[in-house]
Amino acid sequence: MKKFFAFASVAAVALAVTGCYSTQEGRKKVGVPFSKDTIESRYERPAAQLFAAAKETLAFNGTLTGENTISMTITAKIDERTVWIKVDEIEPAISRIQVQARKKSGRGDVDLASELDKQIALRLK
C-alpha cells in the first residue's frame, strides 16, 4: 500500500510539472505551463516603430530565428533561451508589446523578458 501511494504521489508531481504552454505566435510547446514568462508594456508609439526597436534589440543580444511582419512577431535565441516578441496596436496612437522568454528546459525566464523589455524601451528614446 505504501508503494502505491509513493508511486501515485510521484506520478502526480510529474504530471503537474510537465505540460504545454502557448507561445506569442500561437503555437503550443512542451514545458512548464505555470511559470511566469511574459512581460507586457504599452507605449504611445506606432506599432511599426515598436517592431523595429524590438528587432534591433533581439539582433543585438542574440540571433534572430524568425520574423512575421503580418502577425508582428519575432523569434530569437539568446544564450540557449528562446524569446518571442509580439507587437500589436491597441489604438491608433497606443501599441502593446509582449516579451516572452523560456529556458531550454521549458521553464519561464521572466528576468530575461524584463531585461529585453527595458532595452526596447531605451531604444525608443
Q: How many Cβ atoms sit within 10 Å of the Cβ of residue 78? A: 17
Contact 94, 44 (CB under 8 A): yes
- At 24, the pLDDT band (50, 70, 90 cuts) reads confident
Q: Which residues contact 108 (CB under 8 A, 6 or more apart)?
A: 32, 35, 36, 37, 38, 101, 102
Alpha helices in 28-109 (DSSP H): 47-61
Contact 100, 84 (CB under 8 A): yes
- At 106, the pLDDT band (50, 70, 90 cuts) reads confident
Residue ranges per structural domain of the chain: 36-123
Q: Is the pLDDT of residue 13 over 70?
A: no
Class of the CATH-defined domain 36-123: alpha beta
Q: How many Cβ atoms sit within 10 Å of the Cβ of residue 4? A: 8
